[in-house]
Chain A
């Protein structure tokens, strides 16, 4: 079974052989010979590498719709790939299914529902908004609001503290600054500001 096409890609890629170049850095002539050889080999093996998903239908409109739908769907074998880009066998089968249903005249929503019925919401890159997915959709905004609330609360508290301590704080800061300046002016670097030392 072709597992995401990873094995075949790595074993045949010319990139995998490139480190040899570093090891032979001194032997320039030999390196050039080697590189030209590698290029020749990689060109020769390219037809083998270029195994793309072959379109079954010649109808360009169907293919365009297939890509449009499949980009929104997740491949179940290679979970970080969309159904349109995955080379897994199952993805190919599912693309064939989607193609078949497009030809039958089903709507995009009907086709997506067909896949959700079998594989669950997981196949959708954009899950439906429903009680089950509320945390997913609104959670980040809720977290943002909580964060803003905490921030405002902290700033407010700090402002009040500063106001109540203002005369005293002012005096200590001035004292600390003049103190460090006196003792070690040469040690002041970009990273160590006197205010931060406190």
Chain B
């Protein structure tokens, strides 16, 4: 009986490792940007009337939410954000990520200006229809800012603290549970610090 004890223990350890592996989502890659300064950018807002930079919100805790009208999971997430925006004073900045997809313009005929205006009208219509949780939304047409933030799947949500440091990154849609159990405690903690 004693003979089997060691293989059994090894087997149990292996099973525990595999079980833990099953629960992990391989698509969630830990971001190296956590606890680092949010990359600086200056982008036009959706309305085109002004520009926004992360440094504008220095001294405030804020959220950066990456979205697009073609993103299916964003539809699922959007009502959660709309309800959340009404409930809390923390500003949510929308990053309209690559609104114009290659299939929208297969022959690459649209000029940059035409792309911009198409993206603007699409974004505005979408926000009007589904509600606008954003204090403002900026346009990242070519996805360069997205790359700086390590965006690889939309939607993604970042919590940025008063010093302009990224404290949390959510990959995939924000759910009500996630909001109450994870995001809100972090936001409260950062606001009180």
Chain A residues with CB under 8 Å of chain B are: 1-2, 76-77, 79, 89-90, 92-94, 97, 116-122
A97 touches B147 (CB 8 A): yes
Residue B143 interfacial (CB < 8 Å)? yes
A94 touches B147 (CB 8 A): yes
A93 / chain B contacts, CB cutoff of 8 Å: 142-143, 147
12 contacts between A and B (CB under 8 A): A1-B71, A2-B103, A79-B26, A89-B101, A90-B143, A94-B147, A116-B32, A118-B32, A118-B150, A119-B29, A120-B150, A121-B32
Contacts known (A118-B150, A119-B150); A89 close to B29, Cβ less than 8 A: no
B101 touches A117 (CB 8 A): no
Residue B168 interfacial (CB < 8 Å)? no
B152 touches A76 (CB 8 A): yes
The distance from the CB of A90 to the nearest CB of chain B, in whole angstroms, is 6
A118 touches B147 (CB 8 A): yes
Residue B53 interfacial (CB < 8 Å)? no
B31 touches A120 (CB 8 A): yes
Residue B149 interfacial (CB < 8 Å)? yes
B window 86-113: CB within 8 A of A? 98, 101-103
A117 / chain B contacts, CB cutoff of 8 Å: 32
A94 / chain B contacts, CB cutoff of 8 Å: 147
Residue in A closest to B152 when the chains form the complex, CB atoms: A76
- Shortest 9 CB-CB contacts between residues of A and residues of B: A76-B152, A120-B32, A118-B150, A122-B29, A119-B150, A93-B143, A90-B152, A120-B29, A77-B152
B103 / chain A contacts, CB cutoff of 8 Å: 2
A122 / chain B contacts, CB cutoff of 8 Å: 29-30
Q: Which of B26, B31, B102, B148 contacts A89 (CB 8 A)?
A: B102
Contacts known (A118-B150, A119-B150); A1 close to B32, Cβ less than 8 A: no
B143 touches A119 (CB 8 A): no
Residue in A closest to B149 when the chains form the complex, CB atoms: A118
B98 touches A89 (CB 8 A): yes
Q: Which of A1, A97, A119, A121 contacts B101 (CB 8 A)?
A: A1
Residue in A closest to B31 when the chains form the complex, CB atoms: A120
Question: In whole angstroms, how far apart are the Cα atoms of A76 and B102 in the complex?
Answer: 19
The distance from the CB of A55 to the nearest CB of chain B, in whole angstroms, is 15
Q: Which of A90, A92, A119 contacts B32 (CB 8 A)?
A: A119
A90 / chain B contacts, CB cutoff of 8 Å: 143, 152
Question: In whole angstroms, how far apart are the Cα atoms of A92 and B102 in the complex?
Answer: 11
The distance from the CB of B168 to the nearest CB of chain A, in whole angstroms, is 15
A118 touches B33 (CB 8 A): yes
B71 / chain A contacts, CB cutoff of 8 Å: 1
Residue B153 interfacial (CB < 8 Å)? yes
The distance from the CB of B69 to the nearest CB of chain A, in whole angstroms, is 12
Question: In whole angstroms, how far apart are the Cα atoms of A77 and B149 in the complex?
Answer: 15
Residue in B closest to A114 when the chains form the complex, CB atoms: B147
B98 / chain A contacts, CB cutoff of 8 Å: 89
B2 / chain A contacts, CB cutoff of 8 Å: none
Contacts known (A1-B101, A77-B153, A93-B143); A118 close to B29, Cβ less than 8 A: no
Residue B27 interfacial (CB < 8 Å)? yes
Q: Which of A94, A117, A121 has the most CB of B within 10 A?
A: A117
Residue B70 interfacial (CB < 8 Å)? yes
